[in-house]
Structure 1
């Protein structure tokens, strides 16, 4: 963790020279930063972006590209899916809690269709095609997919299922290297540049500059030299999560110790600490998304059991929820029990994550033998499979509610994939912000001149997650931050 002296705010009166100056200064050129830049520039502000790396994009450019949108977007309508802001809110409140920010989620749902149109107007392409197979992402260039378990238990009984994972159209995607997120970022960067947004690269922000209680700039280091950057109307923090700050992980989200899953190591929490030094409030710092390194095409065809041989999650749900259930509530212990026919069928299906198709560690003719080979207590796995098969023979799963289309008795030979400790994650908590992206002081009042968006803030996710909520609220509230910062 950074030393306290390095993040304490600096008085503007002590600045001898301003090396850079703009109306709005944005720290970070990922999805939140570029969205803030566009809206600030359109509001008439002179905008300068400070980016830590040598190029734009951040984690967003490496992401799969899901933007979580709904309420009846043109893409949803074109593909025959009905949705409304109220229906979308019902799902998000149930799936993204506990403790989800109702004001922020209501605001996000009501503005979702307009936000989709804003993205399209700024050149982000969406193909009118729905991908309905289980998976972390679509392996093709489809524009819409279920991305949060909306159509699986328990959420399909809480809200009418509607796919909300909107994916920019892109061919030749490589998961984790160059995904649909690149085609989200590229047109937005081009829009920002056309509006006159300037960018300075290799800028590592260090601390905020204040005039009284108002934020008026940032101190950064560029090529090892300390520089002062003046912001005439506002500073926007958009530098990502704290997934790669080991000390912060130990303090706030210890279950992620040793298993960071953010796309870029620049997610070091520095912006959070800089704002904390001014008295900024925090929210949901223990909340984490958890990736599970299992291929959904296989998981959905078998049953997942924990270290006691018991099922603990419906296998057709969002794989990020499977990850959370595994790491946070089942000691990171998971095995996939699957018969030979289902394993072969799953391996033959299309997938964006074929590298998660692992070879079985144990294979047996009977569940009893498999249980013994795995070292599970006698009778535990046998009883689990017996109960599952008894109901599966009728196409039912009353225990966890897996959808009928995926419920099939487990036959022989039967195998187990060892998926213990196959998780990684990133943090969801951060600075508490208003719906206008003002950074809130612990007193409950906004900190004058300071705004934030993206994963350095506590967005719409308070515990649960759906793919696309990071790029979704990062861009949505990035826009708000830009508008607010331009007003000053």
Structure 2
């Protein structure tokens, strides 16, 4: 058998024997792979899923579990919120760019309510009909709905009617991350549904390279399992769903250098192999520099103060989506941030419920006046004083003309005053990847689909082209994973 350690595709005539066969072969058993498996099986295909680790779940099973859906889902309506497809489109195109794939966003928004029903009615994903309105990365309890993209904050709330679209599966005794997070209660019903539909799975299988026939059609792949080469034939199509390249430093240095050394909300198996396998066939890429950036501070804390950069200047409204704070910190402010907060606000934050109390960092400097604090921090003389003076002058009237922070969070900073050092407190995962069609076909650099090859999830460039909203990964992965499964099942 030819050596499959090379990333280059193998001609089918060099495969003397296929170890396994199925109509649809899926690489990856996270949310995109599981959704593809269910959809392909529902379409009548014989489905085989290959998973690199010893069990299903991927990064999705360890996530908070948000699925970004809207346009008037039953959960939104039950919680008293009105939403429309057009408002959802407008927000996503404004917040997830620049350069969003408008056709994908249109399809995603127009199909969102149907996708909700598919998850609930056909796959058994549970949602509690309750809304969590406190600041935070995710609800600390089992509430089902939350704002997760800054929809209700400046600049978006001035022109686009806000609606919460972060749908999180219900789970009792939930913990942030790991097998007790909301993501587990998305993955388990999907996997159970796939199993009930007859989907087969092989574990500890690491996809290595694609196999193509004489016409250039993808007809299978070669993998490593327990150190041995194993061949998998796909009678209809191959679906790639193996995650991002957040743990591939070589790719990060080439495409997203600011993310080197700071992976978060991803797993080590996210090494970009699927992207490279498809690239070797001439697959096009998109938005490889884009990344979600988490900001490692509890929103209950920093929403009550002001965030300043290394020059002592504010740079964002603190009541927006935490991922926007992280991106602004890393990309626009040299990864330098300090939280300026007074004692009363600090103490109040510690009384509020949070899913991330471990991100409530202690102050590094505490002083009676801003002038003393500025000196202690080593900031340019007068810089922080000017920032606080301007903020306080308008905050006395509940206003923030600089950034549009909402009145409920805009209060003058008093004394004593502290600064929390948040330099370097960012991490995240890549958003770019293979360019795919709205039907999850992998697109060649010529603009034509590569026959027999489909992809979904974080190995693709989905609805996020730069900005992000929590739930966009699981939403995009499950939505376009479904489409990948259906497309692969229908291929011939």
How much has 1:443 moved relative to structure 2?
0.2
Q: Name the Cα RMSD after superposition.
A: 0.9
How much has 1:5 moved relative to structure 2?
6.4
Corresponding position of 1:438? 441
How much has 1:4 moved relative to structure 2?
10
Corresponding position of 1:89? 89
User: Is the Cα contact below 8 Å between 1:243 and 1:262 reproduced in 2?
Assistant: no
Corresponding position of 2:124? 123
How much has 1:176 moved relative to structure 2?
2.2
Residues 8 and 157 (structure 1), Cα distance of their counterparts in 2 relative to 1, 3 Å cut? same
Deviations 1:262-319 (A, max 9, x none): 3311000000000000000000000000001010001100000000000000000000
Q: How does 1:128-147 map to 2 (within 5 A)?
A: 128-147=129-148
Corresponding position of 2:212? 210
How much has 1:158 moved relative to structure 2?
2.7
Within 1, Cα distance between the matches of 2:212 and 2:101?
A: 29
User: Is the Cα contact below 8 Å between 1:90 and 1:158 reproduced in 2?
Assistant: no
Within 2, Cα distance between the matches of 1:331 and 1:249?
A: 18
Corresponding position of 1:305? 308
Within 2, Cα distance between the matches of 1:176 and 1:291?
A: 14
Corresponding position of 1:78? 78
SS in 2 for 1:105: helix
How much has 1:164 moved relative to structure 2?
0.1
TM-score, length-normalised on structure 2?
0.98
Within the candidate set 281, 287, 290, 1:284 is matched to 287
Corresponding position of 1:199? 201
Deviations 1:84-125 (A, max 9, x none): 110000000000000011110011000000000100011000
Deviations 1:201-258 (A, max 9, x none): 0000000000021000010000000011000000000000000001000000000011
SS in 2 for 1:116: helix
Q: How does 1:228-307 map to 2 (within 5 A)?
A: 228-307=231-310
TM-score, length-normalised on structure 1?
0.99
Q: Which of 5-14 and 460-469 deviates more?
A: 5-14
How much has 1:175 moved relative to structure 2?
1.2
SS in 2 for 1:455: helix
Residues matched between the structures, number: 486
Within 2, Cα distance between the matches of 1:262 and 1:448?
A: 32
1:168 aligns with 2:177: no
Structure 1, unaligned runs of 5 or more: none
Corresponding position of 2:183? 181
Structure 2, unaligned runs of 5 or more: none
SS in 1 for 2:183: helix
Q: How does 1:394-473 map to 2 (within 5 A)?
A: 394-473=397-476
